[in-house]
Amino acid sequence: MFEGSGVALVTPFKNGKIDEAALVSLIEEQIAAGTHFLVPCGTTGESATLSHAEHDQVIRLTVQAANKRVLVLAGAGSNSTEEAVRLTREAKKSNADGTLHICPYYNKPTQEGLFKHFEAVAGASDFPMVLYNIPGRTGVNMSPATVARLAKIESIVGIKEASASLTQVSDIIQSCREDFAVLSGEDALTFPMLALGAKGAISVTANIMPRQCADMMNAAFSNDWARARKLHYELAELNRVLFIETNPVPVKTALSLMKKIGNELRLPLVPLAPASLEELKKVLSSLGLC
């Protein structure tokens, strides 16, 4: 269901509020560039500092702007199962096509706790769900065995895998049903994950170079691995520099340098350090982006 190049959309702010005009403009550019699906209100969308009202606002606006031209996978994860259910139900009301759910963070559930959490959300909503495993942020790694158990639930249709372990990716693909979509959550590993059988990515880099990210997917799906590999290397420096500091600070800074959004973050995120900013500018300039 969710395959190809997905973009982890940033949330533009202006004077402390959602910059709706900038967000719609970004969405239009993504669709024109061939992005296959949109992902608002994830980590890159600063979901941690959005109020519930803002969260719902961003999803509604994204769905309206997409206007059925591409799918919308709405971030709805939480470390509270009850809150994850509420966010999922709101996304469903907004006519999103599915929801993305991060592993509960800070409370560090066991593997059984992870299973029960996602099982409960799936049971309460009956709505397409994509799991999101990123142990570097959550403090807990969801094992391939747990993913395989969850993949037996029909409404759980995939996982955004960002453990940085290709062995784990391989184990998940081998142990889950054929139509279960493993999606890259690490831009630098998207190409090798595609080679292992992943079905797409939810990309930070696609905010900056959406056409190349979509083209890499299309090439891989057409078995043109030489072209996909070439595009991987063309994106490599950008993939690196966009994580020079905590995401989404570099990508929002890059978009502001490209005059697409204002350079506005919410605390506790702060602007790039001067050395990081200069390195980001150098990479963007080398790619003809600013």
Q: Is the pLDDT of residue 95 over 90?
A: yes
* Secondary element (H or E) of residue 209: none
What is the pLDDT, as a whole number, of residue 178? 94
Q: Strand, coil or helix: what is 184?
A: strand
What is the tens place of the pLDDT at every residue in 11-61?
A: 999 999 999 999 999 999 999 999 999 999 999 999 999 999 999 999 999
Partners of 7 in beta bridges? 38, 203
Among 92, 160, 199, 252, the active-site one is 160
**In this prediction, what percent of the chain has a pLDDT beyond 70?**
100
Q: Is the pLDDT of residue 290 over 90?
A: no
Q: Give the integer Cα–Cα distance in Å for 129 and 255.
A: 29
What is the tens place of the pLDDT at every residue in 123-181?
A: 998 899 999 999 999 999 999 999 999 999 999 999 999 999 999 999 999 999 999 99
What phi and psi, each to the nearest 5 degrees, are found at residue 156?
A: -90, 105
State yes or no: is 132 an active-site residue: yes
Q: Strand, coil or helix: what is 159?
A: strand
Q: Strand, coil or helix: what is 161?
A: strand
State yes or no: is 233 an active-site residue: no
Mean of all residue pLDDT scores within the chain? 97
Burial environment of residue 93 by CB neighbours within 10 A (0 to 12, 13 to 18, 19 or more)? exposed
Q: Give the integer Cα–Cα distance in Å for 220 and 27.
A: 24
Between 3.40.50.450, 3.40.50.300, 3.20.20.70, 3.30.720.110, what CATH number should domain 4-222 receive? Answer: 3.20.20.70
What is the tens place of the pLDDT at every residue in 100-117?
A: 999 999 999 999 999 999
What is the tens place of the pLDDT at every residue in 54-82?
A: 999 999 999 999 999 999 999 999 999 99
Q: How far is CA 236 from CA 201, 230, 240, in A?
A: 15, 10, 6
Q: Give the integer Cα–Cα distance in Å for 208 and 26.
A: 10
Among 68, 116, 132, 152, the active-site one is 132
Burial 223-236 (b: 16+ CB within 10 A, else e): eeeeebbebbeebe
Q: Give the integer Cα–Cα distance in Å for 226 and 19.
A: 40
